[in-house]
Each structure stands twice: as C-alpha cells, then as structure tokens.
Amino acid sequence: MNHYIQLKKSNCKNCYKCIRHCPVKSIRFADHQAHIVKDQCILCGECFVACPQNAKQIRNDVAIVKDLIASGKPVYASLAPSFVANYEGSDLETMSEALKKLGFTDAEETALGATVVKKQYEEMIRSVESKAIISSCCHTVNTLIQKYYPEALPYLANVLSPMQAHCMKIKKEHPEAYTVFLGPCISKKEEAEQFPGIVDCALTFEELSEWMKEEEVTITAVIKSEETQEGRTQSLEGRARLFPIPGGIIRSMLIDQTDYDFITVDGIDNCIRALTNIISGNITNCFIEMSACVGSCIGGPAMDKERRMPISDYIKINHYAKEKDFTVSLPPANQLEKHFPYIGHNTQMPGSSAIKEILHKMGKSSTEQELNCGSCGYNTCREKAVAVYQGKADLTMCLPYLKDKAENFSDNILYNMPNGVLVLNEELEVQQINRAAKEILNIKNKGDILNAPVVRILNPTGYLEVMTSGRNTHDKLTYFAEYQKYVEETIIYDKTYHIIISILRDVTTDEKSRLKKEQISKQTMEIADKVIEKQMRVVQEIASLLGETTAETKIALTNLKETLRNE
C-alpha cells in the first residue's frame, strides 16, 4: 500500500520547511527531494500543511469508495462531527442528502461512536484504573506513544476510537454494509487499515469536497431556526459532537470525581512535552485529553484549506452540540477494547566521536560555531549531525555552512585574481577590494579604504558616467597619474544588487614598452627622413652635374657632326 502522504517530486524546492515542521523528523532529504520515512512517521500531516509548494499530497481513496458503491452492497458514511465547520450551513440531513447523490446508502454521525467511547472513559475514571489516563481518540497521538514514548503506553486508554466504535455499530445493525469514515484526519486512513473489518475506507474532507465538485453535488444550507420547517423542535441529543474542539471530550463527559484533574493538550509539540511530564511519574488522578492538531480536530490537516477559521469553527461546533447524550446501546466492554503494542522504529544513534566528525565537516569545530539556527529543519546542529549519520540529511542542508563555503570560495577566487577588483555601492563607497587592486593603487591595508569614498583613491567620473548612462565600459585605457600606472578598466553597473564593479588590469609594462617602441620608431623614421633628404640632394646634385656634362657633350658632338658634313 502506498504511503498516505505522497510527494510530488517536481515541486520540492529544497526549502526544508517540511523537516522544520515535522515533530519527529521523519523526513529524509536526498537527491534534492524530501522523502517521508514511513516507519518513523506519525501521520500528523504537518508536512502536508506546511509545504509552500504543495509538494505533498494525501493519497486519494475515492476510487476505493466508488468500487464499494459499485459492488451493490449498502455503503454507510460515518461523518465526523467537524463536518459542520467544514461545510458551511450543513447538518446531518443536508450532508446525508448530498452523500446519497454520490451513491451512499445513508450517513450517520461519528458522534454516536464518540458517545460510546466517552462513556468508557467515564467508567475508567470512576474505577480509577490508572493514576493517569490519556484519551485514545487521536490515532496520531497513539502512534506517537507507540513509536517514541512506550513508557506512556500503560496510561493510554485501551478503548476503540469514535470512528471504530461507530462503524462497529453500523456493521452490527447492517451486517452486509460497508463503512466509510469522512473526516479531517490523514491518520484515520492508517487506523482503518491497521484494524481491518471495522472501517472499510477513510476519506478526508478534501477528498470528499473534490468528489462532490466533480459530480456537481452541492450541500443545501440549513435555515438557522429553533424549529425545523415542519415545526418540530430540534433534538436535544448530541453532547458528543463537542469531540472535535479543544476540551470537547472532557466537556462531553458526565463525571463526579472532584479529586480528578482534567487537562486538555492540543498540538503535537505540547503532547510531546505532556508525555515527558507523565512519564516522569509525577502525575496522579489526571485525565488528559490529547489531540495532535492545534485546535483539535477542527484544526486537522485535511480540513478544506479555505475553511481554516478556528474561532468560527469552534463556535459552529459549540452551537451544533446539544445538552444530552445520544441514546446508544453499549456493547460489552471487551468488544470496545483496543490494545496498543510498542511499535518502535529502526534508528541507529551515533557516538560522540561520529557526531564531532560530522560537525567538523559542517564547519562546526567548536561549540561557538554551532549556531542552531534551524534553517536546515533541525533544531540544533547536533540533531542535524545525527540525521546526517542516519542518512536522513546531508551536509549541504546547512545554509550557514553553504553560505560560508560560497563566500570563502568566491573570496578566494577574488583575492587571487591577477586583475584588480573594486566593488562600490551606489554612494561610490568601497565595499570590497582584492589584492591586485591594492597593489595597483598602492594600498597596504584594505581596512584603510573599505566603506570610504572611492574619490580618496580614484577619480569617480567614470563610475558616475556609467551609473548615469546605464552603459558599461570595457577595457578603457586610463593613466593613473598619481600612481604612474596605465590601467585598462572595465566598469559594470549592477542595478539589481545596486553595486558598481571595477575590474583593473595593470598594463603599465606593456604600455611603456609600446610607447618606447613608438618612440624608437619615430626616431628611426626621423633619421630615415634625414638620410632620404640628404640622398635626394646628392642625387639632385649628381643629376645636375650629369645634365651639364651631357649638354656639353651634345654640343661638342653636334659641332663635330657639322664639321664632318662641311668637309
């Protein structure tokens, strides 16, 4: 059988909120997903309610009930008294009408079974069977005791729950019938399966509401009146309808033991503290009404989410309950007995050296470093270390550890970068400076400039331009005259984090080399120009001389030619 609380893997976002809210830490975190450890879970539903991503879902058993209805046998609904808080303006008659449209044969109130149970409690108190009696209506509280506080088992009332007592009554009256419990509780699903033959299926109000929505079945609101439409006065029976509110069990009981203390404890954390108190042995003549949910059953995890209004819900239950008990026939006491064996769970506890080693891996080398911040979901770092040892958690779940690791990693990279890095806020104050930047700007101690205006070390004009224009600059060559250095500077303005990042690359050596080469090239070109100019003059002089000689030769040859012709 699949677990009653299931995981939607795609929605788990590593928030650890389910672990933080789980009172027994029965959640294992692995592969970036939360997984319920079934043998440790008490089905309180805290993880289901707390999950911000709706990554947890209750196993839907509507199909099972549809199959029961399709079998042709009668199917009766046992309706938890908290239904009047969950379904606005409803009563038994309107709920029964709606359920019949879904295929149920009829519906009765679980409060009938609650009446039987509370009468058993009354008898236990009168007979003073135990110095402390813990109510056993809440399956989650029972499971908590069975798994984690077995020393309190002798104080747990060995009586069926109202759900079981009522369904047993239905089956006695209708031997062929199936029974389906409808309520705000997840753990009732497990209780129904642990004790087969009494409750054939348990549905939550959320499942029922979704089913009615699919079938377009609505509940007709009841007109508030002291009389019904037929003029008949309302029944004065229904005292046990108080069960789903804090103190409701005690208020429903008719007891005359003045030397008894009656205590109401709701909320699983309070229950745990109460159990510790009871186990200490200092409690005498005390009846403790325990409910795992804050606000008792009307605060159940499977109440419709939009219906969570504790004050209004309390008032509705209070008004719906009546002064007198339901008229019920009590079965023999032995038929109402319920035994709660020790269940336990398989967990291996680490020794102190193993815890110390895990804490050291988490960066907790001393007690002072154990922040106990709870961000991982565990109350203390040592609890987290135990969970790591048990395979339920890993080191990466420690957010301070990850933060320090990330900061140290980034700081290490930043510190050892060959380029200088300056980080400024929007007021142009230095927030961070690395080693290379300190060397470029001749700063010995970064404490001298941190949180100081950047104008103390650099001209802020470039940063102001980037902030104003919104355009970053890249590899802009700048000469820092006061430092006699050439720097290629990239300025980036991050509007999201409101910081300016300046990346400085010292190119002084390269720039001086380039300038020297330029100077040598210039001097070479000047010398070459002078040589060329001188050569040109020589060529011109030679050309001039050659020109004169050629002219004289030409004249001489011409004269010789004329002389020869004349002869």
Q: Are 334 and 250 in contact (CB under 8 A)?
A: no
**Adjacent-strand bridge partners of 56:** 7
CATH class, 423-506 region = alpha beta
pLDDT of residue 233: 44
Q: Chunked in runs of 10, what are the mean pLDDT values of the chain (567 residues)?
A: 73 82 89 86 92 86 97 97 94 96 97 96 86 95 96 96 97 96 97 96 96 94 55 72 96 85 95 95 90 95 80 94 93 93 83 86 80 82 86 79 68 81 93 90 89 92 92 91 90 92 89 77 73 74 69 65 63
User: According to the model, what pLDDT value does residue 70 have?
Assistant: 97
Using the structure block, give the residue that is written with the tokens 């927030």: 431
Q: What is the pLDDT of residue 228?
A: 47
The pair of structure tokens assigned to 19 is 């672990």
CA 353 vs CA 349, 357, 360, 499: distances in Å: 12, 6, 10, 45
What lies within 8 Å, CB to CB, of 440 at 6+ separation is: 420, 480, 483, 485, 487, 504, 506
Q: What integer pLDDT is reported at residue 231 of this predicted model? A: 40
Q: What are phi and psi of 33, to 5 degrees?
A: -135, 150
Whole-prediction pTM: 0.74
Q: Which residue has the tokens 């939360």?
A: 34
In degrees, rounded to 5, the angle at the alpha carbon of residue 427 between the alpha carbons of residues 424 and 428 is: 40
Q: What is residue 146's predicted lDDT score, i.e. its pLDDT?
A: 96
Give percent helix, percent strand, percent coil of the chain, each to the nearest 5: 45, 15, 35
Domains in the chain: boundaries:
60-221+237-336, 352-416, 423-506, 509-567
Q: Which of 184, 299, 319 is nearest to 238 (CA)?
A: 319
Look at residue 232 in the predicted model and tell me its pLDDT. 40
**pLDDT at residue 387, rounded to an integer:** 84
Alpha-carbon torsion (292, 297, 299, 302), positive or negative: positive
Q: Establish how many alpha carbons lie within 13 A of residue 8's alpha carbon, considering only the half-sphere containing its beta carbon.
A: 14
Q: How far is CA 162 from CA 22, 240, 249, in A?
A: 26, 10, 11
42-75: b (≥16 Cβ within 10 Å) or e: bbbbbbbbbbeeebbebeebbeebeebbeeeebb
Beta carbons of 188 and 206 less than 8 angstroms apart? no
